Amino acid sequence: MEYPKTVDEVYDFLEDNEIASQETLKVVTDINGYNMEALNNIVYSRTGYNDIEQLLECEYGMTDPDLDENMEI
Protein backbone atom coordinates (compact mmCIF):
# COMPACT_ATOMS: atom_id res chain seq x y z
CA MET A 1 0.00 0.00 0.00
CA GLU A 2 1.41 3.36 -1.02
CA TYR A 3 1.17 6.44 1.15
CA PRO A 4 -1.80 8.50 -0.12
CA LYS A 5 -0.93 12.15 -0.76
CA THR A 6 -3.41 13.67 -3.16
CA VAL A 7 -7.08 14.35 -2.46
CA ASP A 8 -8.00 11.58 -4.91
CA GLU A 9 -5.69 9.08 -3.20
CA VAL A 10 -6.97 9.93 0.28
CA TYR A 11 -10.59 9.75 -0.92
CA ASP A 12 -9.94 6.27 -2.36
CA PHE A 13 -8.05 5.20 0.77
CA LEU A 14 -10.95 6.17 3.04
CA GLU A 15 -13.40 4.29 0.86
CA ASP A 16 -11.21 1.22 0.23
CA ASN A 17 -10.42 0.81 3.94
CA GLU A 18 -14.08 1.26 4.90
CA ILE A 19 -13.39 4.32 7.02
CA ALA A 20 -16.21 6.08 5.19
CA SER A 21 -18.76 4.92 2.68
CA GLN A 22 -18.92 6.29 -0.83
CA GLU A 23 -22.19 8.00 0.09
CA THR A 24 -20.62 9.73 3.11
CA LEU A 25 -17.63 10.87 1.09
CA LYS A 26 -19.87 12.23 -1.65
CA VAL A 27 -22.21 14.12 0.68
CA VAL A 28 -19.41 15.69 2.73
CA THR A 29 -17.35 16.72 -0.29
CA ASP A 30 -20.44 18.06 -2.06
CA ILE A 31 -21.17 20.29 0.93
CA ASN A 32 -17.65 21.20 2.09
CA GLY A 33 -15.74 20.94 -1.17
CA TYR A 34 -13.51 18.30 -2.66
CA ASN A 35 -10.39 19.10 -0.63
CA MET A 36 -8.08 17.69 2.03
CA GLU A 37 -9.76 19.65 4.83
CA ALA A 38 -13.10 17.99 4.12
CA LEU A 39 -11.48 14.55 4.04
CA ASN A 40 -9.62 15.25 7.29
CA ASN A 41 -12.97 16.22 8.84
CA ILE A 42 -14.27 12.79 7.86
CA VAL A 43 -11.17 11.13 9.34
CA TYR A 44 -11.73 12.97 12.61
CA SER A 45 -15.44 12.24 12.84
CA ARG A 46 -15.03 8.55 12.00
CA THR A 47 -11.78 7.72 13.86
CA GLY A 48 -10.94 10.49 16.33
CA TYR A 49 -7.60 11.08 14.62
CA ASN A 50 -6.93 14.71 13.71
CA ASP A 51 -6.00 14.03 10.09
CA ILE A 52 -5.06 11.39 7.54
CA GLU A 53 -1.38 11.58 8.49
CA GLN A 54 -2.09 10.77 12.13
CA LEU A 55 -4.42 7.92 11.13
CA LEU A 56 -1.84 6.41 8.79
CA GLU A 57 0.94 6.63 11.35
CA CYS A 58 -1.03 5.29 14.33
CA GLU A 59 -3.18 2.62 12.68
CA TYR A 60 -1.12 1.55 9.66
CA GLY A 61 2.46 2.33 10.73
CA MET A 62 2.92 4.50 7.65
CA THR A 63 4.81 7.76 7.45
CA ASP A 64 5.17 10.17 4.56
CA PRO A 65 8.20 8.92 2.59
CA ASP A 66 9.08 12.49 1.62
CA LEU A 67 9.46 13.37 5.29
CA ASP A 68 11.62 10.31 5.94
CA GLU A 69 14.09 11.33 3.24
CA ASN A 70 14.63 14.73 4.84
CA MET A 71 15.04 13.58 8.45
CA GLU A 72 18.46 13.98 9.96
CA ILE A 73 19.79 11.48 12.44
Q: Is the residue at 52 inside a domain?
A: yes
Structural domain boundaries enclosing 17: 8-61
Q: In Å, how far are 7, 37, 40, 41, 65 from 61, measured between CA atoms?
A: 20, 22, 18, 21, 12
User: How many domains does the chain contain in total?
Assistant: 1
Q: Is the residue at 31 inside a domain?
A: yes
pLDDT tens sequence across 10-65 = 999 999 999 999 999 999 999 999 999 999 999 999 999 999 999 999 999 999 88
Q: Is the residue at 66 inside a domain?
A: no
Residue 71 pLDDT = 53
pTM over 0.75? The answer is yes
Separation CA 50–CA 12 (nearest Å)? 18
